Amino acid sequence: MQISGSIALVTGANRGLGREFATQLLARGATKVYATARRPELVDVPGVEVLPLDITDQASVDAAAAAATDVTLLVNNAGVSTGANLVGGDLDLVRREMDTHFWGTLRMIRAFAPQLSGGAILNVLSALSWFATDGAGGYAAAKAAAWSLTNAVRLELAAQKTLVTGLHLGAADTDMMAGFDIPKSAPADVVRQALDGIEENRLEVLADEWSALVKASLAEDPSRFYTSV
């Protein structure tokens, strides 16, 4: 899969990683980039084709698929972070997390898969796909589900030679993470690694040391990880 000459669609392209994906895809020679958002008027990347899209709404997803029938690279980036825990948190917020990260991603894949033969899908996941932290129970559960989804649809789409890549990162310096005083990766660096990974036919991209550390911990007794964080 080569970025140059591809036709890409990016969800959540009005800010953060999504905006950076749209920018770098054009810079790397994508023939066309559909930049989508629930509020399309906020997309400000020169040279993109803007489409309205709410991935939690099936009719909106269907309309985007009907408008963008030439897509060869689907970037599932749109996300939400509510801060809801699972036991004590608001269930409506937990459902919103799952509806966005799991069901929304699945809606997009189901809608666009028929036109992605020989193309690629990139799912923006998280280091939280592999661990939980207080204050992000809903987010972690939804990202874990999205990771499993990524692995499952990869198998289903193998026959049509669609590359399915998962991107994992700890934290990027975006609006979503603005309130957290922790080390953050530059969005440009995260996106560069993700697009390099697609061109290298990689199934998984770990964008930072934190993601690599968390994934490595899965082979250990969980008590060793959860008593050290």
Give the total number of structural domains in the chain. 1
- The token duo for 206 is 């770990």
Residues 4-39 pLDDT 10s: 999 999 999 999 999 999 999 999 999 999 999 999
The answer as to whether 1 is a domain residue is no
DSSP per position, 49-94: EEEE--TT-HHHHHHHHHH-TT-SEEEE---------SSSS-HHHH
- Examine residue 217 and state whether it is found in any structural domain, yes or no: yes
Residue 2 lies in a domain: no
Beta carbons of 129 and 144 less than 8 angstroms apart: yes
Closest CA to 142 of 99, 112, 110: 99
**Beta-strand pair 204-206/163-168:** parallel
Mean pLDDT of the chain: 93
pLDDT score for 225: 81
The pLDDT assigned to 172 comes to 60
User: How high is the pLDDT of residue 171?
Assistant: 73
Q: Is there a domain that residue 115 lies in?
A: yes
Q: Which of 84, 134, 74, 131 is nearest to 104 (CA)?
A: 74
User: Could you tell me where the beta strands, DSSP code E, fall in the chain?
Assistant: 7-10, 32-37, 49-52, 73-76, 120-124, 163-168, 204-206
Q: Which of 44-48, 61-65, 220-224 has the lowest mean pLDDT?
A: 220-224
Question: What pLDDT is stored for residue 229 in this prediction?
Answer: 61
Choice among 72-81, 114-123, 180-189 with the minimum mean pLDDT: 180-189
Give residue 151's identity as a one-letter amino acid code: N
Write down the pLDDT at residue 223: 86
Average pLDDT over residues 209-217: 90
pLDDT digits (tens, 9 = 90+) for 150-209: 999 999 999 999 999 999 998 765 556 545 566 667 889 999 999 999 999 999 999 998
Whether 213 is covered by a domain: the verdict is: yes
pLDDT at position 210 is 86
Angle at 158 between CA 50 and CA 11, to 5 degrees: 15
Determine the residue type at 210: W
CATH of the domain at 209: 3.40.50.720
For 54, the domain range is 7-226
